[in-house]
């Protein structure tokens, strides 16, 4: 049996780890995908940066944690805040809104949340989901503009509701929100510690971009060689996978053009530590006057990621303000000025190093109807597209890993039955 895996991020590595006899091919020169890390050496010492905040939320997934046995991990209680009118309030805002010094505001939120608890209708899009979950006042105060900045869309009604959206948008009776606790590697390698651990003892070929796939012959061209497969597991972006298939149904190719994603720009900074950094893991910033929607501090979670007296910081910038890499890079001076204005940096001279990361695809804009048709078509040809980009939805590491575990067991069982 020949099972090949495209992509050595956490999803592809998890599948290979559980399934066993398979080969993994990765286009990049290292494993990890978006869970990768980079070390930047400076005169004051090394800074370690991830691709933005990449925290491991296991959400009661014991099978996933079992795969990470032997990897030193520390459990953390989230220290996250929302910046509203210059003040920091505990995240999630639906639990801390009563701290906002506006009695009329608090009464409106109380009433709307109470009304929403009894609503039993159907939500039709992402804007509808947010309004029906939190009410108009919290929506206009935080959720509307924050999500506009994150997705890079001014009309949230154009976003379909994805598989995990209802899980993340928790109602008032959930005390802590979706991700109150998380795990992170306890050494100095950063988030890449997880994919490095998963990759042990696996057969992985790096710098190996897939050139084409043929369904009829069950072949894949890679590194100018032709490889045969019985099952193909792909974690690359779904539209890119469809485009690689030389004998794809034209209707499926056309359908894949309907799938879209936000672009991403993460500005990592090595900076001198300031008082405002203390006891803050990350901060949500909904105000449209600022070019970023979230900032955070890797080194507050793991101090080994920055020299003593310094911080490793990340800034997730909004695609509302750029459409390509050059435009994103040009925003850096503005972003730095805004960080100084908010007090996250004291002065430009406190910046030791910059590490900008541009992403052509960041958050997938879900379209369950389209993706189900495409993925079912692929499955009919024994090609399984999984993970955040393979499934084309918004998911976290533990959800992608769980999906990979289930598929590995499903295919493993089917092969046992097939050959008995």
Question: Quick one: pLDDT at residue 60?
Answer: 66
Query: What are the C-alpha distances in Å from 405 to residues 61, 176, 218?
Result: 11, 28, 24
Q: Is 116 exposed, middle or buried (0-12, 13-18, 19+ CB in 10 A)?
A: middle
Question: Quick one: pLDDT at residue 348?
Answer: 98
What is the chain's pLDDT, residue by residue, as a tens digit (420 residues)?
Answer: 599 999 999 999 999 999 999 999 999 999 999 999 999 999 999 999 999 988 888 766 788 989 999 999 999 999 999 999 999 999 999 999 999 999 999 999 999 999 998 888 888 899 999 999 999 999 999 999 999 999 999 999 999 887 555 545 555 555 555 568 999 999 999 999 999 999 999 999 999 999 999 999 999 999 999 999 999 999 999 999 999 999 999 999 999 999 999 999 999 999 999 877 788 999 999 999 999 999 999 999 999 999 999 999 999 999 999 999 999 999 999 999 999 999 999 999 999 999 999 999 999 999 999 999 999 999 999 999 999 999 999 888 999 999 999 999 999 875 533 432
Residue range 3-35+192-258+367-418 forms a domain whose CATH class is alpha beta
pLDDT tens-digit readout, 183-216: 999 999 999 999 999 999 999 999 999 999 999 9
Question: Quick one: pLDDT at residue 171?
Answer: 56
Q: With helix as H, strand as E and coil as C, how does the chain read?
A: CCEEEECCEHHHHHHHHHHCCCEEECCCCCCEHHHCEEEEEECCEEEEEECCCCCECCCCCHHHHHHCCCCCEEEEECCEEEEECCEEEECCHHHHHHHCCCHHHHHHHHHHHHHHHCCCCCCCCHHHHHHHHHHHHHHHHHHHHHHHHHHCCCCHHHCCCCCCHHHHCCCCCCCCCCCCEEEEECCCCCCCHHHHHHCCCCEEECCCCEEEEECCCCEEEECCEEEECCEEEECCCHHHHHHHECCCCHHHHHHHCCCEECCEEEEEEEEECCHHHCCCCEEECCCCCCCEEEEEEHHHHCHHHCCCCEEEEEEEECHHHCCCHHHHHHCHHHHHHHHHHHCCCCCHHHEEEEEEEEECCCCEECCHHHHHHHHHHHHHCCEEECHHHHHCCCCCHHHHHHHHHHHHHHHHHHHHHHHC
Residue range 37-190+260-364 forms a domain whose CATH class is alpha beta
Whether 64 and 398 have beta carbons less than 8 Å apart is answered as yes
Torsions phi, psi of 101, nearest 5?
-80, 65
Torsions phi, psi of 366, nearest 5?
-65, 145
β-strands 264-272, 231-234: how paired? unpaired
User: Which residues, 6+ apart, have CB-to-CB distance to 239 below 8 Å?
Assistant: 256, 257, 259, 392
| Cα dihedral 171, 405, 407, 159 sign | positive
Sorted by where each begins, the domain ranges of the chain are: 3-35+192-258+367-418, 37-190+260-364
Same fold, 3-35+192-258+367-418 and 37-190+260-364: yes
Query: What are the C-alpha distances in Å from 212 to residues 74, 218, 248, 257?
Result: 41, 11, 11, 18
Question: Quick one: pLDDT at residue 170?
Answer: 53
Token readout for 308 is 């003593």
């Amino acid at each position: 049996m020949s099972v090949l895996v495209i992509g050595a991020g956490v999803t592809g590595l998890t599948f290979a780890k559980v399934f066993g006899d398979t080969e993994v091919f990765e286009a990049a020169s290292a494993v990890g995908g978006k869970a990768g890390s980079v070390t930047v050496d400076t005169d004051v010492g090394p800074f370690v940066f991830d691709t933005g905040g990449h925290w491991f939320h296991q959400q009661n997934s014991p099978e996933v944690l079992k795969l990470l046995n032997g990897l030193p991990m520390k459990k953390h209680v989230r220290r996250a805040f929302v910046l509203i009118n210059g003040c920091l309030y505990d995240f999630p805002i639906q639990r801390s809104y009563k701290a906002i010094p506006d009695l009329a505001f608090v009464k409106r939120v109380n009433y709307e949340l109470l009304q929403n608890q009894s609503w039993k209708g159907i939500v039709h899009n992402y804007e509808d989901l947010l309004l029906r979950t939190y009410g108009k006042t919290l929506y206009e105060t935080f959720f509307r503009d924050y999500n506009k900045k994150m997705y890079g869309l001014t009309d949230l009604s154009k976003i379909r509701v994805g598989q995990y959206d209802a899980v993340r948008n928790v109602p008032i009776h959930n005390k802590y929100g979706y991700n109150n606790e998380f795990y992170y590697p306890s050494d100095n390698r950063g988030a890449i510690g997880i994919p490095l651990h998963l990759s042990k003892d696996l057969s992985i070929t790096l710098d190996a971009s897939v050139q084409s796939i043929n369904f009829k012959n069950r072949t894949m061209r890679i590194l100018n060689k032709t490889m045969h497969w019985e099952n193909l597991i792909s974690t690359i972006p779904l539209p890119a996978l469809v485009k690689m298939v030389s004998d794809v149904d034209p209707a499926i190719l056309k359908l894949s053009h309907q799938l879209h994603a936000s672009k991403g720009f993460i500005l990592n900074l090595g900076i001198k530590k300031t008082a405002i950094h203390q006891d803050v893991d990350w901060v949500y910033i909904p105000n449209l006057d600022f070019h970023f929607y979230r900032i955070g501090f890797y080194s507050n979670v793991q101090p080994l990621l920055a020299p003593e007296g310094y911080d490793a910081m990340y800034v997730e910038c909004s695609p509302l303000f750029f459409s390509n890499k050059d435009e994103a890079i040009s925003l850096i001076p503005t972003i730095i000025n805004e960080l100084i204005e908010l007090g996250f940096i004291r002065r430009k001279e406190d910046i030791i190093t910059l590490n900008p990361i541009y992403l052509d695809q960041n958050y997938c804009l879900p379209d369950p109807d389209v993706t189900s048709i495409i993925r079912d078509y692929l499955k009919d040809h024994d090609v399984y597209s999984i993970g955040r980009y393979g499934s084309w939805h918004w998911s976290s590491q533990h959800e992608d890993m769980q999906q990979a575990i289930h598929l590995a067991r499903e295919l493993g069982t089917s092969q046992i039955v097939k050959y008995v």
